[in-house]
Amino acid sequence: MQTADAAHPDADLLTAFVEQLLMPREREQLLAHLAVCPDCREVIGLVLPETPELVVQPAPKPAFWRWPVLRWGTVAASVVIIVGAVTVGLRERTGNKSVTEYIHVAVQKSGHSASTQPSAPGDTSRSNDVISENRSATGASGLKSAQIRYEKLPEDQKVAARAELDKLTMSPAPAARAEIGQAAMGNAVRDTSAMSKEELSRFAAERAPQQKSGWLVEPVDPHHALNAALPKPLEVSKESPLVSDVRGIPPPPPPPPPSSANEVVVVKQDEDKFAYSQNSALGGTAKKSATEHEVQALPAPQLQASSEVVASTARHTESKAKELRKDSDASGFVAGQSSDVFDMSQDWRIATDGELQRSPDKGKSWLPVMAAAKFRSLAVVGTEVWVGGAKRLLMHSIDAGQSWMNIVPKDKNVSLTGDVVSIRFADQKKGSVVTSSGETWTTEDGGQNWRKP
């Protein structure tokens, strides 16, 4: 056995040892010396290169494309991205198109140009101007101006004009309504969470005239957004605001049968004249089952746009409704299409004067919602908002107030009566409504069907 006092190996041997170049016997002898010689061990330690050149390198990792998980994951991610992009693109296109089409239909029906005089039959030049003008002004500013012009109509003409347009634009109703509502309200429905106080005041002032102009007259008229799609101007005759150039055109074919029992009855509060089913295409009457909402449709419109336009509109709206139904929850309510989504952290309240208010900033400021209407009860579950008021007024929004639907609970041909004084929803499906007449109505499916115990 060697000792530290033995002759130390020369630099060549130590170097060869570090570089793994020694003969086996030499290596054994050197190791025996190194085991007892701290100096030589220290030299070996100093000679070792800093990079572990002598360490066996691990096997190279396979290229990522050889990993099945990454390969298929990449493919799946690409598919998701493409589908999402196509879906978004389709929605944007169809959204704009549907708004434009409704305006087109409304203009066709009215036959009026921007001037106050009704055009002669067959005179479509000014109508085309209006169409192009409206199309170019499809945005909120154009709709707003059309809205203001509608305000100037006499009340009796307003009713008829609105009814005709509602028939055209309502069905298959909620989907298109919400869409048009979004388009009409688009510029007014903005994410206010980032607004300054001055901006918020301006925003409220902009909206206030709209809501006090009669669009949402008492009782609440949820079609105010649709009304905004009316062309400008709507100087209609006493006979009918939408008579002129399309008289004599046969009415459109009857609507397809309802695809589901889910119906939303939109009611004009005062006379229940305008009741529409989301499944009635272009007017007409649809009889519903006892457990469903009763549908009352207006008489067939006196004035219709060309059947082709109407049919295409119906087809479009139906397809759009189907598309939007896919986006809705199981209750069948359709989500809004606007990209201006309210901050979900908004708070809701009913002021002392019955005004429904929304706060985008956790209560620092409050904005009126449907200011023309007065409410007495409120329930909020996530993004779904229920508000109730006088004379069976019950409104429901699934998109934090961007769009609203008027709900009239019915059960076996019996409708809710009285004022809605209390609303309670444990979740999005189960809830109850109590009226001033002592009635309690419950729903298990988010308001699609109601029962009165």
Instruction: Please identify which residue in 25, 61, 326, 412 interacts with other proteins, judged by CB under 8 A.
Output: 25
Q: Which is nearer to other proteins, 39 or 327 (CB)?
A: 39
| Residue 336 three-state SS | coil
Q: 212 is written with which tokens?
A: 């006090």
| Residue 83 lies near other proteins (rule: CB under 8 A) | no
CA angle 206, 207, 213 (to 5 degrees): 110
How far apart, in Å, are the Cα atoms of 377 and each of 255, 420, 440? 36, 7, 14
Instruction: Please identify which residue in 7, 63, 205, 344 interacts with other proteins, judged by CB under 8 A.
Output: 7
| Residue 290 lies near other proteins (rule: CB under 8 A) | no
Q: Which is nearer to other proteins, 16 or 341 (CB)?
A: 16
Q: Which is nearer to other proteins, 1 or 344 (CB)?
A: 1
DSSP letter at 7? Answer: P
Instruction: Please identify which residue in 28, 156, 191, 270 interacts with other proteins, judged by CB under 8 A.
Output: 28
Least separation in angstroms between residue 63's CB and other proteins is 25
| Residue 257 three-state SS | coil
Q: Which is nearer to other proteins, 25 or 61 (CB)?
A: 25
Q: Which is nearer to other proteins, 19 or 92 (CB)?
A: 19
Q: Which is nearer to other proteins, 14 or 228 (CB)?
A: 14
Q: 436 is written with which tokens?
A: 């001033």
- Binding segment for other proteins among 13-21, 79-87, 125-133, 217-225 (CB under 8 A)? 13-21
Task: Quote the strand ranges of 100-174, DSSP E.
Answer: none
Give the per-residue contact string, 37-76, with other proteins (x = CB under 8 A; - = no): -xx-xxxxxxxx-x-x-xxx--------------------
Least separation in angstroms between residue 24's CB and other proteins is 10
Q: Please, are residues 402 and 340 in contact by the beta-carbon 8 Å criterion?
A: yes
Least separation in angstroms between residue 61's CB and other proteins is 18
Q: 101 is written with which tokens?
A: 């089409």
Provide the terminal-to-terminal Cα distance of the chain, rounded to the nearest Å: 103
Q: Which is nearer to other proteins, 25 or 287 (CB)?
A: 25
| Residue 18 lies near other proteins (rule: CB under 8 A) | yes
Least separation in angstroms between residue 342's CB and other proteins is 59
By residue count, the chain amounts to: 453
Q: Which is nearer to other proteins, 10 or 353 (CB)?
A: 10
| Residue 13 lies near other proteins (rule: CB under 8 A) | yes
User: Cβ-count burial of 306 within 10 angstroms (0-12 exposed, 13-18 middle, 19+ buried)?
Assistant: middle
Interatomic CA distance for residues 47 and 9, integer angstroms: 14
Least separation in angstroms between residue 339's CB and other proteins is 57
**CA proximity to 178, closest of 165, 187, 190, 169:** 169
Interatomic CA distance for residues 115 and 121, integer angstroms: 15
Instruction: Determine the residue type at 340.
Output: D
Residues binding other proteins (CB under 8 A)? 1-3, 5-16, 18-23, 25-26, 28-36, 38-39, 41-48, 50, 52, 54-56
